[in-house]
Amino acid sequence: MGLFTTNNTGTSIDNLKYNFDNGARGNLYDVNFFLPSAFGGQDAARTMGLRVESCSLPGRSLGTKKFSEYGQERRIPDGTVDDGGEIDFTFICDSSFADRLIIEAWQQLVFTKGTKDGVNGTAAMPKMEYYKEYISTIQIIQHRTDRQDSEDTKRNALEYTLEEAYPVSFEAQTLGMGESGIMKFTCKFAYRYWESKYIPAPPRSLLNKGRVILDALLGGSNLLSRFGKEGKMRKTLTNLDTRTTQIQNIFGGG
């Protein structure tokens, strides 16, 4: 709770302003689909996902069961972990339906395994491919916008990796004379488990470091007092600090 207390380094609102960033935003993300080897490698896979309009970061839950030696029951883990297992992605379609084509082809890998006589499976007569042949990886990257950066500057903050993923379904798309907007389609991917990576924030900006120095000088400038300049310098710093606060209040604390 030290963040919200008043001390010699400034008021609680000062601490809040200069330690809090712009906050996480749900529209700053990228998605990378690493296609199975049947697509010719993963070099071009990163270009997929640029038109993902929406998706989600999966959750996780522990399976539990009731247990009691005596009296009131408690819940203890039963040895299972639920990583979600499925996730929906909504794509914005370009005029060639490139993303839908790739998703459809990826899904067909699952049931079009070839036989020794050269006959491939079909939707009517499916022949299931080996699991390792159609699974791959999906990476969801959440970006941060730091206080000192522009809105267009993106730094990775969180990376989710879905392992052993493949498309299990995609929804129908509506056509009609009254449909004038850009077409979209939603597909569902299954995955076995996910892993996350939290990337530390960069050091505080020089602006914030300067604030720390200013607070230290206002709080007790023993060094200045040795040279007989404490009173004059403190007055100057206080006036500048007051003026800075006024400007911040006018512009909403920016």
pLDDT in tens, 126-150: 999 999 999 999 999 998 776 555 5
Does 218 lie in the same domain as 146? no
Query: Considering the entire predicted model, what is its pTM?
Result: 0.66
* Alpha-helical regions (H) of the chain: 12-19, 98-111, 131-134, 206-219, 222-226, 230-250
Last residue of a domain, one of 158, 180, 198: 198
pLDDT on residue 250 = 46
Does 139 lie in the same domain as 38? yes
Closest CA to 61 of 44, 80, 76: 80
- The dihedral formed by the CA atoms of 48, 53, 58 and 59, expressed in degrees to the nearest 10: 170
Domain membership of residue 39 (yes or no) is: yes
Domain membership of residue 72 (yes or no) is: no
Does 107 lie in the same domain as 144? yes
Domain membership of residue 212 (yes or no) is: yes
pLDDT on residue 130 = 92
- Note down the domain range covering 238: 2-18+205-250
Does 113 lie in the same domain as 145? yes
CB-based contact 31:141 (threshold 8 Å): yes
pLDDT on residue 1 = 43
Q: What are the distances in angstroms from CA 120 to CA 167, 220, 249?
A: 19, 81, 70
Spans of the chain, pLDDT less than 70? 1-22, 40-50, 146-154, 201-254
pLDDT on residue 251 = 46
Beta-bridge partners for 76:
65
pLDDT digits over 78-121, tens only? 999 998 899 999 999 888 888 888 899 999 999 998 877 888 88
Does 132 lie in the same domain as 41? yes
